Structure 1
């Protein structure tokens, strides 16, 4: 399977640190799309112990990654990075399929999927 989401080296370092800290070294990183947010869709990232038959699996920078087959077209070409600043650090997500997003940076919509917007 080809990679759907690119995890940068900085993001992979942070994910590995989180996996070690939380005892999740034998888990997958799930990158997901959920309904909600100001623009209708939100990103989700978390750890899961098992893949399901509806998941695409691949590995990047030594991190096993899961993406639901339904989410793959929405996330295709997305880059997950980790940026450090004076105010701390955080993950950033650049999705070429997003045609609109809100100020929070985690809510978006695409030309083919609008989701279910909520008040922010």
Structure 2
């Protein structure tokens, strides 16, 4: 099952270790999953950790959002993609906290609702990570792909 979402061109950004792809700065990403109890009030929400809000505040310019997009691929069937976007589409949901925002299109939200977005900084890697995703069944050791619960 492939997810296809029309997105305008935008620069990719995630963490401290970066690569340049086609003139755009691109950063690595990672994910883990868990199975938290999600109340009805929070089931369609993306939760942002304090470290995520802090890092977004450091790297985002005014009017920019971190976009989370889920697409088919990766070792386990689906993978998280992160990018910076200044455009909000009709089907986007915006999650704001501490003066920063994360946007997710409706199709991708179905795969990440109830999850927590974190920023992790380690000696070998710094990255945004999707944690405790109640929609994910298994993850791959690569850290960026997952399978969904059926």
- Written as runs of structure 1 = structure 2, the 5 A alignment for 1:18-37 is 18-19=59-60, 24-37=61-74
Partner in structure 1 of residue 149 of structure 2: 111
Query: Are residues 1:67 and 2:104 paired?
Result: yes
Query: Are residues 1:49 and 2:86 paired?
Result: yes
Partner in structure 1 of residue 55 of structure 2: 14
Give the TM-score normalised by structure 2: 0.64
Aligned length: 107
- Cα deviation, 1:12-59, whole Å, max 9, x if unaligned, reads 11122121xxxx321122111111100011111111111111212231
Partner in structure 2 of residue 89 of structure 1: 126
Q: Which runs of 5+ in 1 are unaligned?
A: 113-120
Quote the offset at 1:88 in angstroms: 4.2
Give the TM-score normalised by structure 1: 0.78
| Cα 1:108–1:86 shift into 2, 3 Å | same
| Cα 1:53–1:14 shift into 2, 3 Å | same
Partner in structure 2 of residue 99 of structure 1: 137
Q: Which runs of 5+ in 2 are unaligned?
A: 1-41
Cα distance in 2 for partners of 1:89, 1:73 equals 26
More strand by share: 1
